[in-house]
Amino acid sequence: MAGGLQDRVALVTAAGSGMGRAAVLRFAREGAHVLATDISLEAAAETVALVQAEGGSAVAQSLDVTNLDELRSLAADIERDHGVLHVLYNHAGSPGGAGLGATEEDFDATVDINVKSSYYLTSYTADLLRKSEGRGSVIFTASVSAITGSPFSPLYAMAKGGVVMMMKSMALSFAPDGVRCNAVCPASVLTPMLRKFVDRRNDGLTDSELEDFVRATIPLGRAARPEEIASVVYFLASDDSSFVTGVAVPVDGGYTAR
């Protein structure tokens, strides 16, 4: 049986680990040809090797999402090689500085990675998405911090809040072309970034203490697996969500239900 993304072209940023890698694997299992990009070509290649070991189709490419020339070049390559883009998953992000002590350089870098990169990559691939014959889907990784705010990470919350409003505005812009735009808003996920966030509240926690902290803050009592986020990303990429656009979906184990 063909997968839900059979013969479609998908692009994933920050595909070298965590949720990005999980999304590449899920897209490929569903039949997509996936362009796995990451600032580390080695990490992207490791993701592609996993895809190919399962018989899927993917290619690796290095990509600095803050470099607009690289984004333009990538869009041109997709136009040349495929002529269409069905799925764009803007996943690249950065936690930014903690508290109110961020430097101007950190502020600019956080906005560049989380917001500016997604805006321009979506802009540069817009015509390719419009060629998808009503099957185009743009997905952004936001955060529960975009919905509830974060006293420990106001810079990150600001950036991810911007991602959500950008997504909603793009959903309206793209709607006449049949291209949908949505965002996932994870809470605690089992990736290296989890400790970076938790240590802002409780510096130096042991692994056991980190697990206790997550159990106390997430109603389901655990952090998400990257594959669980990827399942929602796949839903938003597929025809199963054909009437869903402009939505920020909490994938948070009940965090925002409090």
Active site residues: 156
Closest CA to 209 of 220, 198, 224, 197: 198
CA angle, 38 then 41 then 47, to 5°: 75
Whether 29 and 54 have beta carbons less than 8 Å apart is answered as yes
* 48-55 long-range Cβ contacts below 8 angstroms, 24+ apart: 48/24, 50/21, 50/25, 51/24, 51/25, 54/25, 54/28, 54/29
Q: Cβ–Cβ contacts within 10 Å for residue 175, how many?
A: 13
Burial class (CB within 10 angstroms; exposed 0-12, middle 13-18, buried 19+) of 81: exposed
Closest CA to 224 of 144, 139, 138, 113: 144
What are the residues facing 186 on neighbouring strands?
A: 251
Q: Cβ–Cβ contacts within 10 Å for residue 227, how many?
A: 15
